[in-house]
Chain A
Amino acid sequence: MTLETRGLHFSYNGRPVLAGLSLSLARGESVGILGVNGAGKSTLLRCLNRNLKPQKGAVLVEGRNLADLSGEEIARLLGYVPQNRFTDPLNVFDSVLLGRKPHIKWQASGRDLQVVAEVLAQMGLEKLAMRPVASLSGGEAQKVVIARALAQEPRMLLLDEPTSNLDLRNQLELMRLLGRVMKDKGIGAAVCLHDINLALRYMTRLVLLKEGGIKAILTPEQLSPELISEVYGVEVILAQVAGHRVVIPQEARGEPAEGGLDAKLDRETVGHDSN
C-alpha cells in the first residue's frame, strides 16, 4: 500500500505546524519519523489518520483521498496507536477485540475472535488473554495496544512513540516483534521516534522533520552527523559499535533548541482540546 501526502498544511490556532509537507511511503516500508519536539511528528501522524483534518493539502491512500473515506474505512486501512493512551477497564482479549470494531456490524463473528486469538499469539499475549489490562506491566500493556491495531488488519501501522515508556529490554523486544509481525503480514509502518538509535536499527527509511517541513528522506545508512546536528541542534558522533550504527551526542549548542519544551507543552494543550 502506498500512503502519500500532498502539500499538507496544518496550524494550531494560527501557528503552522506542518507547512506544505509532501511525502510518499511505499508498501511494506518501516519509516521512522524523526525531529525535535514540536517539529510536527505527531501532527503528521494524526493527519495521516484523519484524526486531524489538514487545512490545506491531501492525504492519499492508494490514490484515494482520505477525506472521501468513512472513519471505519480508514480504520480498516490504517492502524493508529496514539501516544496518549488510557488504560481501559477491559480484559486483554476484549481490549484487542476493539480492533475489530471497524469490521463488526452488530455482533463479533467467529472470524473476529479468530483474528484476535491469532494476534494475541503473535504478540505473545495468549497467556494474559483473560487478565485485566490495568493489571499488566507497561511493556505488556503496550503490546496490547499494538495487538489491537494489528487486529484491525490494517495495511499500514501508524505508531506514535511506541517505545517511549518502556525499559531497554521491552523497547528492543517490542521493535523486534513489530518487525517480525510486519514482515509476516506484509504491512508497513510509519513510526514517530525520539530514539535515533532505535530508528537506525529497526527502520528501513527515515524522514527528518524540521519546522513543519521535510529536511531529508534517506536510508539509515545515509544519515550523517551533520544532518542530525542540523535537525536536533546537537553535535553528535555516529559510530559503528558491535555491528550497529549508534549516535553519541556531544554538548548541546548554546542557543535553545527551536520548538523546544514550551512549544511542545503548548501544542499538547491545544491538541487535547481539539478532541
Chain B
Amino acid sequence: MKASLAEPRGPDTGRSTADVIARYLSALKRRYLLMGALTVLLIALALQAVALGAYDLSPLKVLWALLGRAEGPQAAVIWNIRLPRIVAAVVTGWGLGLSGLATQTLLRNPLASPFTLGISHGAIFGAAFAIVFLGAGAVSASALHTAGPADFMFSGLYAITGLAFAGAMSATVVILILARLRKMSPSAVILAGVAMSSLFISGTILIQYFATEIEIASVVFWTFGDVARSSWGEILLLGLVTLAVTLYFLRRRWELNALLAGDDSAQGLGVSVTRLRLTGMFLATLATALANAFHGVIAFLGLLAPHIARRMVGGDHRFLVPLSGLVGALLLLAADTLGRLAVGSGTLPVGVLTSFMGAPLFLYLLLKDRP
C-alpha cells in the first residue's frame, strides 16, 4: 500500500483546482477529437466502398451521384446496388456494437453480448422454422454469385424475417421475465441466456432433422450473416430503431456510468437500477433482433466493438455509447467491403469474416481478464 497521501492544501487550493480541471478538460478534448477522427474515417471508408467493385467508379463520381447529379447506369449501380448494402452495413454494425456495449454494462459482464444471450440462436431457430415448415426458403442458384438486393435469395423472405425476429425476441422476453420475476442477478441472467441458446440450438437441430437437403442448405445459408439482403424499406426501419436506441442510451449515459460502481452505489445516486436494466436490455436486444432478422447472424461484432472502444477511451459511457456504434459500423463495413472484393465475382457473407475476427478476440479476453 502506498504511503500516505497529500494533505489538503491551504492557500493555493484555488490554483490547484483550476489546474485539475484544465487537465481534465484537455483529456476530454482528446477523446472528442478521436471520435471526430473515427467519424471522418467512417464517412471516407463508406464513400470509398461505394466506389469499389466490379463496375468502376471514382469516389468523386460517388459524391456527385449522392448529390443527385448522376444518371444512367452509374446512378443505378450506386443507388440500387452498392449504397443499400453499405448503409445496411453501417446501420447494422452500429446497432450490434451499441447493443453489445449495453448488455455488457447492464449485466456487468465483459463477455455478455446479444449473441451469448441466445438472441441470435432464437433468430436462427425462427428462420429455420420458416424455411422448413412454411416452405419459405428456396435458394436461387444465382444468389451465391451476384451482389445486391435485386437478387433475393429466399422466396418468402417476410416469413423468414418475421419468424427470425419472433425467435430472437422470444429469447429476450423469456430472459427479461425471468430477470423481473425472480429478481435475478446479472450473472444469473447470463446463465439463463446460455440455457436459452442451447434450447434454441436443439430446436434448430430437430427442425433440420425433418428437413430436405435443400432446406438445410437454406437454413445454413441464412445463418451466414449478410448485409446485402435488405432493401431501402428494411434499412430505413432498422435505421430508425437503431437511432432511437442510440438516443436512449445517450440519454442514460450517466446512469450507465453509475452502474459501473455497483447496483448499490448507482441506487444511492438516484438511478432506478431495475428499470434501467430491463428497459436497456429490451432496447438493446430489439435492435439486435431486427438486425438478425434482416441480415442473419453476424457473430461477435457485439462483443468486439465495445471492447475496442473501451481500449480507446476507457470506461466512460459519454464516449463509449457513440464510439461502440462507430467501431461496430467501421468493422462491419470494412469486413463487408473486404468480403465483396476478395471473392472474385461474388460475395463472401460478412458473418463468416466477423467470426474469424471475433473468436480469437474472445479467447484473448478470456486469457487476459481471468488471471
Interface residues of A (CB under 8 A from B): 46, 49, 51, 70-76, 78-82, 84-86, 88-91, 93-95, 98-99, 101-102, 104, 113-114, 117-118, 120-130, 132, 137-140, 143, 145, 148-149, 152, 158, 167, 169-170, 173, 272-275
Contact = CB atoms under 8 A, between A and B. Distances in A.
Nearest to B277: A275
B257 interface: yes
Contacts, number: 154
B310 A99 contact: no
A78 B184 CA distance: 27
A126 B20 contact: yes
B270 interface: yes
B23 A140 contact: no
A130 B25 CA distance: 11
Contact of B268 (A80, A90, A138, A173): A80
Contacts of B268: 49, 51, 75, 78-82, 149, 158
A93 B33 CA distance: 20
B261 A85 contact: yes
Given A120-B20, A130-B27, A274-B183, A82 B265 contact: yes
B5 A140 contact: yes
Contacts of B6: 124, 126-127
Interface in B299-325: 310, 314-316
B315 A90 contact: yes
A275 to B, nearest CB: 4
Interface in B254-282: 254-255, 257-258, 260-265, 267-274
Given A98-B254, A102-B269, A140-B2, A124 B261 contact: no
A93 B314 contact: no
12 contacts: A80-B265, A85-B265, A86-B262, A94-B316, A102-B270, A117-B21, A117-B24, A121-B13, A121-B20, A139-B1, A140-B2, A148-B261
B282 to A, nearest CB: 19
Given A74-B270, A85-B261, A121-B8, A129 B2 contact: no
